Amino acid sequence: MGLDAPLLTELDQPEPCDLASPRPRVHDQDRVLGPGCGVDGVGLRGRGPVGLEVVGRARFSGVGGGTIADRADSARVDDPAITAASHVTVALNGDPGGQVQVAWVALRPGRGFTLHLTDRARSATPFTYMVVEPVG
């Protein structure tokens, strides 16, 4: 399906968002019934294998960045929202030198995570990360 094809085959007329309501208006597992809002956020359920498609720029609160210090082999990120189930994806945005790359990310639930490299960085290296939580 190309980007020009409609992804939403059915959509209810949106109703004003009632922030006092704790449940989203989404209530059918097979159709997109429109956005719903509640105290826990906004819900939208898509039809088929695409749950969300964004054309254009998107902003996520679970995205951040930091810098691995010169000659360091790890960097700590403080984020109390990290859970034992969090998935953290990291991208190095600079050249740490040599064959240095991301080795692993150690989660510290309730505190954040630590990014570990395969060796010491030869220069300060900026990085970005994205944190997502699994459904269910």
Q: Which amino acid appears at position 94 of this protein?
A: G
CA 97, 102, 103, 108 torsion-angle sign: positive
Pick from 104, 101, 84, 83: nearest CA to 92: 101
The CA angle 80-83-89, to the nearest 5 degrees, is 95
pLDDT digits (tens, 9 = 90+) for 85-97: 999 999 999 999 9
Instruction: Find out whether 28 and 49 touch, Cβ atoms under 8 Å.
Output: no
Place of tokens 């010491």: 120
Task: Give the number of other CB atoms < 10 A from CB of residue 128.
Answer: 13
In the predicted structure, residue 3 carries a pLDDT above the cut 70: no
For residue 121, give every residue at least 6 positions away whose Cβ sits within 8 Å of its Cβ, in sequence order, or none.
68, 69, 70, 71, 72, 73, 96, 97, 100
* Mean predicted lDDT score pLDDT of the chain: 77
pLDDT in tens, 55-105: 888 888 889 999 999 999 999 999 999 999 999 999 999 999 999 999 999
Q: Supply the pTM of this predicted model.
A: 0.66
State residue 10's pLDDT score.
41
Residue burial 67-79, b: 16+ Cβ < 10 Å; e: rest: ebeeeebebebeb
pLDDT band at residue 27 using 50, 70 and 90 as cut-offs: very low
Residue 9: the pLDDT is 40
